[in-house]
Structure 1
Amino acid sequence: MATEVRNNTALERFELTADGTPAGYIEYQDTGAERALVHTEIYPRFEGQGMANVVTKAALDTSRAEGFSVLPLCPVVLHFVKTHPDYISLVPQRARELFGLPQ
């Protein structure tokens, strides 16, 4: 299945498609140099297929490339960061304890 994630800045969300069909999204809010990832939604037809990981990785990679630090307010995003330690550096040092992440 071919997936694509695009940043819809007008709606402040990363939108995931699978074979051209909308599959889900992550909503965010930008404040200065920080991007809060606040909610992940995967449509029922695509649940259980790893789509949350696809959209989360793309959102984190794009945020890094755009120079944002990340606040993983969404439990899906926080779990991803906890299980992929190379993304912990995106979370500001001051916020890591709040999210249960190593300093």
Structure 2
Amino acid sequence: MPVTITHNSADRRFEIYVDSELAGYSEYLDSDGTRTFHHTVTLPQFRGRGLAARLTAHALDDTSTQRLRVVPACWFVRDFIASAGDRYSHLVVR
């Protein structure tokens, strides 16, 4: 089962697909050099596969590449950053 992650900038979200079927997404808002992640969803039939973690890592890596700071308003993104040690902590607006 191929997994693909895309950045749908028109809808301001990162999307993860399994076999070309939407499996989840992470929505954000950009403002003044800051990207606020406010909602992350894994569709029920795709839960338990670690897809949300893969999606979040990709979204944060992309955000870092864009030289944006992060506000983790979504609980999943906040917990993911906390569990990743120093990998993403430098992105977080304090």
- TM interval, short-chain normalised: over 0.9
Q: CA deviation at 1:2?
A: 2.0
What's the counterpart of residue 88 of structure 2? 87
Matched pairs, number: 93
Helix, strand or coil for the counterpart of 1:49? coil
Q: Which runs of 5+ in 1 are unaligned?
A: 96-103
Q: Which runs of 5+ in 2 are unaligned?
A: none
Helix, strand or coil for the counterpart of 1:70? strand
TM-score (norm 2): 0.94
Helix, strand or coil for the counterpart of 2:56? helix
Distance 1:54 1:2 in 2: 13
Q: CA deviation at 1:19?
A: 1.9
RMSD: 0.8
TM-score (norm 1): 0.87
What's the counterpart of residue 100 of structure 1? none
Q: CA deviation at 1:21?
A: 1.1
Distance 1:15 1:55 in 2: 7
What's the counterpart of residue 62 of structure 2? 62
Distance 1:2 1:84 in 2: 25
State the structure with bigger RCO (CA 8 A, min sep 6), 1 or 2.
Answer: 2
User: What CA deviation, in whole Å up to 9, does each residue of 1:3-26 have, x standing for no partner?
Assistant: 111111111000110121110000
Q: Map 1:23-102 to 2 at 5 A.
A: 23-85=23-85, 86-92=87-93, 95=94
Read off the aligned partner of 2:43 and give its amino acid letter.
Y
The list of structure 1 runs, each at least 4 consecutive aligned residues, that deviate by more than 6 angstroms after superposition, is none
Same amino acid, percent of matched pairs: 35
